[in-house]
Structure 1
């Protein structure tokens, strides 16, 4: 089959709202996930030095992303690319829905 379709709600969430879709879609080289969280949710500070860069696309809501020492305010429609070695943390300022893509 030349394509794959998956409903993110059909993939069990991990870490309080993150749905890892790459396995369900059969993507071996591209990390794709959906982050569906409530206002007040905070992720853990982390980097992806071993994995590659990430792009966060905020579909709904408002969030603050801390990248290193910088704070980036995001609203629906914004996209943010983060270098692999940069430490990042997401804080949801409202109920938020992100699509996250990562690649080496």
Structure 2
């Protein structure tokens, strides 16, 4: 088949709102996720140094702060943030927020 269609609500979330779509979409080289969280949600600090995955966070709705290597970056709807694989990052939702997250080595 030349395409795959998935509704992210059909993929069980992990970590309180992260819908990992890679397996559902059968993507081998591209990680795609939807992060759908309520105001006050905080992600765990992490990096992707082991897998070399650079990530782009696109905030579709809401407001959030990303902390990248200790630097706070304010995000509002429409913003896209690229983060190097080695950089430690954490997302904190200030409002109910919806992100699309894409990552690739």
Q: Per-residue displacement from partner, 1:37-65 (whole Å, max 9, x unpaired)?
A: 00000000110112210000000000000
Q: Superposition pairs for residues 1-104 of structure 1, below 5 Å?
A: 1-51=1-51, 52-104=53-105
**TM-aligned CA deviation for residue 34 of structure 1:** 0.3
Q: What TM-score, normalized by structure 1, do the two folds share?
A: 0.98
Q: What TM-score, normalized by structure 2, do the two folds share?
A: 0.97
List 4+ stretches of structure 1 deviating above 6 A: none
> What value does the CA root-mean-square deviation take over the aligned residues?
0.5
Mind listing any 5+ residue stretches in structure 2 that lack a counterpart?
none
Q: How many residues were matched structurally?
A: 104
